[in-house]
Amino acid sequence: MNKNILVIPGDGIGPEVTAWGKAVLAQIATNFGHEFTFDEALMGHAAIEATGSPLPDETLDKAKKSDAILFGAVGHALYDNDPSLKVRPEQGLLKIRKELGLYANLRPILLFDELLNASSIKANILKGTDILFFRELTGDVYFGEKTRSEDRNTASDLMIYHRYEVERIAHKAYEAAMKRNKRLCSVDKANVLESSRLWRETIQEISKQYPEVETEHMFIDNAAMQLIKDPKRFDVVLTANLFGDILTDEASQIAGSMGMLASASVGDGTGFFEPIHGSAHDIAGKNLANPLASILSVALMLDISFGLKEEAKVVLNAVDHVLKEGYRTNDIADGSTNPYHVLGTQEMGKLVLKFIAEKAVTI
């Protein structure tokens, strides 16, 4: 299979982890006789420094022409500490999602048994958890009108949804639920928000087309609590942009660390694959970042964008194998980890690559 893959490393730990995602893709191509051609482009702070724009036209052009995109993260302490800056790294990410029509963000909460003790939640509550989040990505307060009064003392962000935006992601989520355990929980705040009432009304309508799927509606505050109390009760969770952003960071603790969670953003064109974490300036350049979320994002790319299920399984099994052998990065190490098995970004990436290259892991 021939594919053109655009790599957008971004800022902070983005380049450190994406290098390993790319290396894994190249190794999979070698093992399975595929031809993956890589190109690279700028986004975020790196792009602002080089061109003045967080998403240069060249990046967008390359993105539109590629078959899939592997992304790292954007962000820099400079902007976090100065909210008044007008040109910001995250604008690049929001724009590319909009331009590529990436309306559904899939975040599987994949729980490796070896990491049951890395979570701050008790292992007996976590064991058996398998959740697939669908976070809407192109609406909500992120894209609604933003205002600030002349005296700068009042501000607002418009929470806005159109019916078609809810419908299209709902179909994707129901189709996924049909292939899983046929349970879908739609999360909203319909007791307070009008946009949530439209959300719920739309899901209620669409649910009639999927009678085999058991649909549940839950308020965001309750969902945040249930996720920690009894994560096993969830199968597919469908929610809006802001609620999904927050809930999936919370859910990352189920998987042990932000460094373990991959995501796929899809619409009707090129897919976009990235870890859920940000640029993590606190650990950037220190060889401390966990590269497994980027590597797991590659597994999602192989499966979802290219339909290469066997190749995706090899990547997943390689990660599982490394963890079973007791190797950990700092963020997922616990009291029982042999200190000699605590690896840096580079060493962890090399180890996963080695297992794939030696074909130590098959399906």
Give the largest CA-CA distance in the chain.
64
Q: Cβ distance 116 to 127 under 8 Å?
A: yes
Amino acid identity of residue 191, one-letter, is N
The residues, any chain, with a CB within 8 Å of residue 9's CB and separated by 6 or more, are 15, 18, 19, 40, 46, 72
| Positions in 61-80 near ligand NAD (CB under 6 A) | 73-76, 80
Minimum CB distance to ligand NAD smaller for 76 or for 200: 76
- Residue in the structure block whose two tokens are 């700092």: 330
Would you say 8 or 25 has its CB closer to ligand NAD?
8
Radius of gyration of the CA atoms of the chain, in A: 20
Which 289-308 positions form the footprint of ligand NAD (CB under 6 A)? 289-290, 293
Per CB under 6 A, 263 contacts ligand NAD: no
Q: Is residue 283 at the binding interface for ligand NAD, with CB under 6 A as the rule? A: yes
Q: Of these residues, 3, 11, 79, 142, which one is catalytic?
A: 142
**Segment interacting with ligand NAD (CB under 6 A) among 103-111, 125-133, 156-164, 287-295:** 287-295
Closest distance of CB 87 from ligand NAD, Å: 14
279 makes contact with ligand NAD (CB under 6 A): yes
Confirm whether 172 is a catalytic residue.
no
Do 234 and 227 form a contact (C-beta atoms < 8 A)? Answer: yes
Q: How far is the CB of 52 from ligand NAD (least distance, A)?
A: 19
Residue 118 beta carbon to ligand NAD: minimum distance, rounded to whole angstroms: 12
Asked about 189 being catalytic, the answer comes back as yes
Active site residue 245: yes
Buried b (16+ CB within 10 A) or exposed e, 82-105: eeeeeebbbbbbbbbbeebbbbbb
Give catalytic status of residue 86 as yes or no: no
Residue 213 vs 266, nearer CB to ligand NAD: 266
Instruction: Give the CA distances from residue 67 to residues 3, 6, 92, 274, in Å, rounded to whole numbers and listed in that order.
Output: 6, 8, 20, 15
Question: Whose Cβ is closer to ligand NAD: residue 185's or residue 260's?
Answer: 260
Catalytic-residue membership of 157: no
Specify the stretch interacting with ligand NAD by CB under 6 A; choose among 149-157, 167-175, 179-187, 272-280. 272-280
Q: Tell which positions 201-240 bind ligand NAD, by CB under 6 A.
A: none
Q: Under the criterion CB under 6 A, does residue 55 sit at the interface with ligand NAD? A: no
Annotated catalytic residues are: 142, 189, 221, 245, 249
Binding site for ligand NAD (CB under 6 A): 13, 17, 73-76, 80, 90, 93, 258-259, 277-283, 289-290, 293, 331
